[in-house]
Structure 1
Amino acid sequence: MGSLMKSPRGRLPLSIVTVLLCIFAFIALFYTERISSLSISIFKFKSCSKKGTIPKSDERTIEDDPVKEEIDDRFEFDPNECSVAHGKWVFNSSLKPLYTDRTCPYLDRQFSCAKNGRPDSDYRHWEWQPDDCMLPKFNPKVALQKIRGKRLMFVGDSLQRNQWESFVCLVEFVVPKDQKSMRMGRSHSVFQVKEYNATIEFYWAPFLVESNSDNPIIGDPKKRILKVDSVSKHAKFWEGVDILAFNTYVWWMSGPKMKSLWGSFANGEEGSEELETPVAYKIALKTWANWIDSTIDTNKTRVFFTTMSPTHTRSEDWNRKDGIRCYNETKPVMKKGHWGTGSNKKMMSVVASVVEKMKVPVTFINITQISEYRIDGHASVYNELGGKLLTEEQRADPAHYADCIHWYEKQKPRVFPSSLLSVGKELH
């Protein structure tokens, strides 16, 4: 398939389906002894100059910049210098997975593409190659060593649960059966690695603040009420954790307004008022930020925040006027800097405005732009509804049943995905 189809000699590209990108930021820091304190825009990613070279113009498409085996002036990965957000998705048919949805027992069936009947497989073979640097190989034993004696917790919605599942699958296969265990809970789930005295955990809090839809989930967004001034019910599970990774976005995008209240849920809807969604979002994030600033010991705990995971529900965004959402998409968007309507910059700016005023350093794991390209990586019609796989009749109606929010689970890269963390260097 030409030069874009092979991994160039000496290059170590990032191979990863979009939903899994953000988990790698944590491991990146494990390979660096400190977190750099850099303030960056989460919208404008300026590519760091390759050592001894002049920065390239951003006005080009991925196809305009083919890989050339004889030229590779990228430097070894350095989170202080490498801009991972600048790069391209490159096809490589020779990738070998570290795990698949058939080999890892901890993946949610809802997003297990091969098990659910997806006929194509090219989506497994796209690699992310940063312009500036080469990426070290991933080593699950090294990753486990870095979290020895520690608790790593993913906090947020179902997208964050996918990150947790993926991280577990990245490392679990090198752990003997008698040295690992999984405890699944409605809100709090824990994967324990006894040999390393470490846990990899997930805590369900889709809004971060408390809501009447945490558990059980209320399907009708109009009936959901947010307690925007409190995280205490959730936060008691966050205390004492060494590495905290938060996200919250998709659940906020159900309408222009959100029912919000202060104090008790006892009065129900009568005690709430409708706020513009960005306003409610900001109040909630300030509540979360206040808890972080007043509780977190920076000598013990690192805090991450995953930026919004794009949705691909409008095929016109990538010039497919005859398309049906993300259905039947088999290749990434190739246009550099593509940005669709499924990523709300106003909401993204709310996160930035809150985090920049915090005392505790928060590392942005910014997967938004990288993920924007991957219109081919969603669950689409190969998913479950109500715990059951879609019927053939439902699959024939992608306008109603294609899931263009969640992502396929897939194998992890043969390279160490330390990149992500330069996408979200330290923000403070």
Structure 2
Amino acid sequence: MMVQRWNKKRAHFPLIVFLFGLFILSSILYNELSIRQIHQNPDHDDGHRYQDSITSTTMKLPSRPNRVPEVLDRFTTCNSTVKYSGRKGWWADSKPGPDRRRGTSERCDMFSGKWVFDNTSYPLYNESHCPYMSDQLACHKHGRSDLGYQYWRWQPHYCNLKRWNVNEMWEKLRGKRLMFVGDSLNRGQWISMVCLLQSVIPADKRSMSPNAPLTIFRAEEYNATIEFLWAPLLVESNSDDPVNHRLDERIMRPDSVLKHASQWEHADILVFNTYLWWRQGPVKLLWSTEENRVCEELDGLGAMELAMEAWANWVATKANPLKKIFFVTMSPTHLWSREWKPGSEGNCYDEKTPIDDESYWGSGSDLPTMHMVEKVVGRLGSKVTVLNITQLSEYRKDGHPSIYRKFWEALGPKQLSNPASYSDCIHWCLPGVPDVWNELLFHFL
């Protein structure tokens, strides 16, 4: 009956009412379309997506409070530089959480011990049998004849490190993404992990897919990947190109891990590091809210603390509780032999044995940085496991490539006549020290 009355009324509607209704409907549809277009515009992004291509920096952008900041790259410059204002990220004011897992207990500290020569169990793989070996780390291939650096096993005091088992490690990784995030030291640990694991995967069931700055090793049988993401400062910076990153002026966004987090947030196991890049002089800070490219300048340690706080904020507020997150402490350098051999003027060149003084601590490992990392990571409680590789690696002055690696620039006669002048005392030969870092990772997984 109601439907009949409605149809009866509709028959007597004046034409003007019908046209007016049509106008109202058209207006509503137009407004809805406009709103939809606004939500699809990257300039109105809510921060959960990252835009790879932003409007050119030469254009004057309208002021929008939610605008995605321009992407930093190696061509980014500061219009001007001012002193650091003392600004801090949100995480700096957070209250400390419970003590985190350190891989230690009252019974045993896995990071306190000594190196034991073991040419029976080590090396865990053959350098020439790993097709993914880096020429920067393949010391035997590039002329190093003393192979003693490959035969040292880390022995904690009062307990034993879990023995490496390649099949067990693959079972831990089945159906998962393991991602290393950081600088070239972390890349070396990633290559070590790939070399430790790749031999049991048939050649037609494994692949390496470079996709700079993210490189991925895939194992089909286990539906697993081992990945490396180049992010030397953890936060976004103008040094995020994995090849072209040697710049006179280092610029970073101290409050944003958004660019890198969009890559690492889907991994199941994350291994982070950062250190050496903060020891190369002052850093320029370009905050995400700054639209005129006015930078602040801060020393390396202070800038690293800001970056660590931004990273810790992501871990505390965004990371899935089921993720396993590790932070690897600083990798030491051996640039001055006088620190372990008083009176000498060399470096790691021609060193063939570890340091046996357990109290040794070189200037290549900065204690204020260690304390800062301890403070920031300590606030994360059990969310992060720290792999404290610093002291155990301090002893291994013999483990660096020295002159036995590929150098990307031609060496002149003067350099060649003085090997110590161009020795690499920062990175590590493989097989070698980074394999033990991965044994520790295996132990705590």
When the two structures are superposed, what TM-score results if normalisation uses the length of structure 2? 0.72
Aligned to 2:61: none
Aligned to 2:256: 230
Identity, % of aligned pairs? 44
Aligned to 2:379: 357
Matches within 5 A, 1:6-45: 39=100
Aligned to 1:259: 284
Q: Which has the larger radius of gyration?
A: 2
The number of aligned residues is 347
Displacement of 1:88 in angstroms is 1.2
Residues 325 and 385 in structure 2, CA contact (< 8 A), matched pair in contact too:
yes
Q: Does 1:379 align with 2:386?
A: no
Deviations 1:313-363 (A, max 9, x none): 111111242241111111111111210000001111111111122366111
Displacement of 1:218 in angstroms is 3.4
Residues 111 and 379 in structure 1, CA contact (< 8 A), matched pair in contact too:
yes
- 2:145, 2:189 → 1: CA distance? 24
Q: Secondary structure at the match of 2:225?
A: strand
Q: Which moved more, 1:158-167 or 1:407-416?
A: 407-416
In 2 relative to 1, CA 400–341 (structure 1 residues): closer, same or farther, beyond 3 Å? same
Aligned to 1:213: 239
Residues 135 and 417 in structure 1, CA contact (< 8 A), matched pair in contact too:
no
- 1:104, 1:385 → 2: CA distance? 20
Aligned to 2:349: 327
Q: CA RMSD in A?
A: 2.8
Please, which runs of 5 or more residues in structure 1 have no aligned partner?
A: 1-36, 49-80
Aligned to 2:364: 342
Deviations 1:141-168 (A, max 9, x none): 1100111111100000000001111101
Larger relative contact order (Cα-Cα within 8 Å, sequence gap ≥ 6): 1
Aligned to 2:142: 116
Please, which runs of 5 or more residues in structure 2 have no aligned partner?
A: 1-97
Q: Does 1:309 align with 2:331?
A: yes
Aligned to 1:289: 312
Displacement of 1:267 in angstroms is 4.9
Aligned to 1:406: 427
Aligned to 1:277: 300
Q: Secondary structure at the match of 1:333?
A: coil
- 1:97, 1:360 → 2: CA distance? 33
Paired AA for residue 306 in structure 1: V
Residues 155 and 205 in structure 1, CA contact (< 8 A), matched pair in contact too:
yes
Displacement of 1:121 in angstroms is 1.4
In 2 relative to 1, CA 359–301 (structure 1 residues): closer, same or farther, beyond 3 Å? same
Greater per-residue strand proportion? 1
Displacement of 1:417 in angstroms is 6.9
- 1:356, 1:402 → 2: CA distance? 36
Q: Secondary structure at the match of 1:377?
A: coil
Residues 102 and 387 in structure 2, CA contact (< 8 A), matched pair in contact too:
no
Displacement of 1:241 in angstroms is 1.0
- Out of 168, 176, 180, the position equivalent to 1:142 is 168
Paired AA for residue 202 in structure 1: F
- 2:146, 2:300 → 1: CA distance? 38
Paired AA for residue 374 in structure 1: R
Q: Does 1:167 align with 2:193?
A: yes
Greater per-residue helix proportion? 2
Aligned to 1:92: 118
- 1:392, 1:118 → 2: CA distance? 20
- 1:240, 1:234 → 2: CA distance? 11
- 2:192, 2:388 → 1: CA distance? 17
Displacement of 1:413 in angstroms is 11
Paired AA for residue 261 in structure 1: L
Residues 116 and 383 in structure 1, CA contact (< 8 A), matched pair in contact too:
yes
Q: Which moved more, 1:412-421 or 1:173-182?
A: 412-421
- 1:415, 1:384 → 2: CA distance? 23
